C-alpha cells in the first residue's frame, strides 16, 4: 500500500472517530459553568462542639464556585437548585472532556491532511 492510500485510510478513520465523539455532545443536557463542592463549617459560637472538634462541624453546605473577571466567586446553594446544578456542572465537564478529545484528534489529523493536500498540489495536471 502506498503512502497516499494509507493516509487516506487514516483520515477516514479519524473522520469517523471525530463523528462518534461529536455525537456524544448531542445527547448531553443543560450545562453550567464553575464547580460544586461541599463544605463543613464552624458556626462561630464558642460553646459549640464545632469550635474544637472538626468532625462536629455543620454541614454539608453545598457551594457553587466560579471565576468572574479573575476573582473567585462562591454562592451557597439549597435543594433543589443544588441537585440541578450538580447535574448541569457534571454535563459541562463531560462536554469539556469531549472537546479536548476533538482537539487532540484534530491535531493528529492536521499532519495527515497536510501530507495529502501537498501531494495533490504537486500532482502534474
Residues lying near Zn ion in the complex (CB under 5 A): 43, 48, 50
Which of 60/97 has CB closer to Zn ion? 60
In whole angstroms, how close is the CB of 39 to Zn ion at the nearest point? 13
Q: Which of 111, 121, 120 is nearest to 14 (CA)?
A: 111
Grid cell, residue 97, equals 472532556
Which of 57/90 has CB closer to Zn ion? 57
Which of 21/48 has CB closer to Zn ion? 48
In whole angstroms, how close is the CB of 60 to Zn ion at the nearest point? 14
Grid cell, residue 70, equals 479573575
In whole angstroms, how close is the CB of 51 to Zn ion at the nearest point? 7
Which of 43/74 has CB closer to Zn ion? 43
CA pair distance 76, 88, nearest whole angstrom: 16
Contact between 107 and 27 under an 8 Å Cβ cutoff? The reply is no
CA pair distance 3, 15, nearest whole angstrom: 18
In whole angstroms, how close is the CB of 63 to Zn ion at the nearest point? 18
- DSSP code, position 34: S
Amino acid at each position: 500500500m502506498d503512502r497516499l492510500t494509507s493516509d487516506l485510510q487514516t483520515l477516514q478513520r479519524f473522520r469517523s472517530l471525530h463523528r462518534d465523539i461529536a455525537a456524544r455532545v448531542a445527547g448531553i443536557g443543560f450545562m453550567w459553568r464553575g464547580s460544586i463542592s461541599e463544605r463543613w463549617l464552624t458556626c462561630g459560637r464558642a460553646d459549640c462542639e464545632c469550635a474544637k472538634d472538626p468532625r462536629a462541624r455543620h454541614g454539608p453546605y453545598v457551594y457553587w464556585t466560579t471565576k468572574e473577571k479573575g476573582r473567585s466567586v462562591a454562592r451557597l446553594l439549597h435543594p433543589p437548585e443544588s441537585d440541578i446544578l450538580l447535574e448541569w456542572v457534571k454535563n459541562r465537564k463531560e462536554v469539556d472532556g469531549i472537546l479536548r478529545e476533538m482537539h487532540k484528534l484534530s491535531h493528529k489529523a492536521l499532519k495527515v491532511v497536510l501530507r495529502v493536500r501537498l501531494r495533490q498540489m504537486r500532482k502534474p495536471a
